[in-house]
Amino acid sequence: MEITNLEKLTTLGHPWRMSVFRLLMRRYPQAVPAGEIGAVLNIKPSTLSVYLSGLQNVGLVAVERRGTSRLFRIEMREVEALHRFLFQECCRGRPDLCLPNCASVKQGTDGAEHIYNVLFLCTGNSARSVIAEALLRDQSKGRFNAFSAGTQPRDMVNPVVIEMLLDKGHDITELRSKHIREFDGPDAPEFDFVFTVCDRAANEECPAWAGQPISAHWGMPDPTMVAGTDAERRLAFQHTYGALRNRIRAFADLPLQTLTRVSLQAALDDLATELSPEGV
């Protein structure tokens, strides 16, 4: 039996099912273990199973098994179909009412190319997001302003990160750990892109950003949590650097002014899954 869009909307009308849906949207394109979803949202397993089944039944969420674990991921084609329904049927195809700024990314004025503000978020803002900030700053070619912040920032940038970035020729002058609140005031830059680079930051409910920036989740393991010898720990930081370098190079090469928001979002999601560390 075909699932109607009204059934999908009714399913999302339940506050806890919506909470699960929102979490999976923030983590897309990753698949998230059921246990992690329950822990983040503080939902007991039996209750969570009911919510996830409801989302599966209307096609908004898919499940895959890895060993004994069940992992859940947003079915983006179904979500996009629901968006199209709302746009065409409810908004009568008027982007000024329902989809502000949907047609394309921002353009410069007077023929100048727009300079994009990009924020990288993680929990501690001591390793992954700082590495990403340094990489984009060096890749920017005058097209990007790079920033980073943490939801629970550490007191300082990890010393191994500082040493590694210096060895690779990056300018570390402006790098420091800082709270996301620094970018929440009237004088804060308006961001065009917001990337989460750790799962914990993506799991957290953050306020909506002004200007409707395009967001993507580039989650990767925390190199500061790797145990072992000093060489093994340093290798973890090198792998993180390589993964972020690959993605940021590809991002910086995108023809941003010729892409719609939809096609750009798809490209950013692809970078989260297609690129992996290469030799550094």
pLDDT top residue among 236 and 277: 236
Instruction: Give 33-59 pLDDT, tens digit per residue.
Output: 999 999 999 999 999 999 999 999 999
Instruction: Give 143-189 pLDDT, tens digit per residue.
Output: 999 999 999 999 999 999 999 999 999 999 999 999 999 998 888 89
Burial of residue 227, with CB atoms counted within 10 A of its CB: 0-12 exposed, 13-18 middle, 19 or more buried: exposed
Instruction: Give 113-141 pLDDT, tens digit per residue.
Output: 789 999 999 999 999 999 999 999 998 87
Out of 90, 91, 98, 206, which one is annotated catalytic? 206
Question: Please, which pLDDT band fits residue 1 given cuts at 50, 70 and 90?
Answer: low
Domains of the chain, start order: 5-98 (1.10.10.10), 116-274 (3.40.50.2300)
The pLDDT, as a whole number, for residue 107 is 59
Task: Calculate mean pLDDT across residues 71-81.
Answer: 93
What count of other Cβ atoms lies within 10 Å of the Cβ of residue 90? 13
Q: Is 206 a catalytic residue?
A: yes
Q: Is 91 a catalytic residue?
A: no
Out of 90, 98, 102, 122, which one is annotated catalytic? 122
Instruction: Give 205-246 pLDDT, tens digit per residue.
Output: 776 677 778 999 999 899 999 988 999 999 999 999 999 999
Q: Is 98 a catalytic residue?
A: no
**Strand residues in 67-190 grouped as ranges (E):** 69-74, 116-122, 144-150
